[in-house]
Amino acid sequence: MAYRMSWIAGKSGKHLFLKDIEDEKPPLLLQMVTDYGGLHFMSALRSFKRRVVYSNVCSDFIVGWRTSSIRRQHELPESLHQRKSFINDGRYPHIVYVEEPKVQDVDFSDAMIYQAKTTSEMEEVMLKGLNRLPWERVDVSFKKSRQRFFAHSTIQVKTYFLNSDGADVIFHMIDHFIY
C-alpha cells in the first residue's frame, strides 16, 4: 500500500515513504540526518541557535503528531490527555503544550543509515539522528475548532478565510521567535 501511495504522490511521495533508494544510496530523508556525501545537512541544523517544531496534536491527516514533533509514541506527553500540563493562555488558545529543549544522549553513527532496511528501522535512525540536537516542541490542538479537519492547513494559516483559527499559532511564533 505504501508503495502505491508513493507512486501516486510522485517523486515527493517516494521520498516521504522512503522508497527512493537509488544506486545503493539510502533514501534522501535518511541521508539528511547526517552530513552525507559532502552535503552538510546536520551541520546546517546545528548552526541554528534554536530549533522549534510546531505539531498538531490531532486531526492532521497529512503528518501525524509523533512524526511532526520528532518523538516516539511513548515520548508524547501523556499529561496532555489528562489535561495536567495543558497550557491555558488566552493569547494563544490553540497552543496546548510547550516542551523546552533538552540534550539527549543518543547512540548514533553515520553508518546506521546504511544498516536500516525496513521502514521502522529507517524511522528509528532518523529519530536518533535528529534527536542528537535539542528541539523545542510546541504542541497545537484545534480539537474545539470548526477548522479542526483542516488542521494541517490551519496551523500554517494557508488561506486566512479557511484557516484563520491558526493565527494565534503564527502570533506565538512571532512573539517567541527572538528571546
DSSP three-state, residue 178: coil
Distance CA 9, CA 3 (A): 10
pTM of this prediction?
Answer: 0.86
Domain definitions of the chain by residue range: 50-177
CA 130-14-142 angle, to 5 degrees, is 60
Per-residue pLDDT reduced to its tens digit, 119-143: 999 999 999 999 999 999 999 999 9
Cell numbers placing 129: 539522528
Backbone φ and ψ for 54, nearest 5 degrees, come out as -105, 130
Distances (CA, A) of 67 to 46, 56, 136, 175: 20, 10, 14, 25
Per-residue pLDDT reduced to its tens digit, 152-172: 999 999 999 999 999 999 999
Per-residue pLDDT reduced to its tens digit, 70-101: 999 999 987 655 455 567 788 999 999 999 99
Cβ atoms within 10 Å, residue 120: 9
- Checking if the pLDDT of 108 tops 70, the result is yes
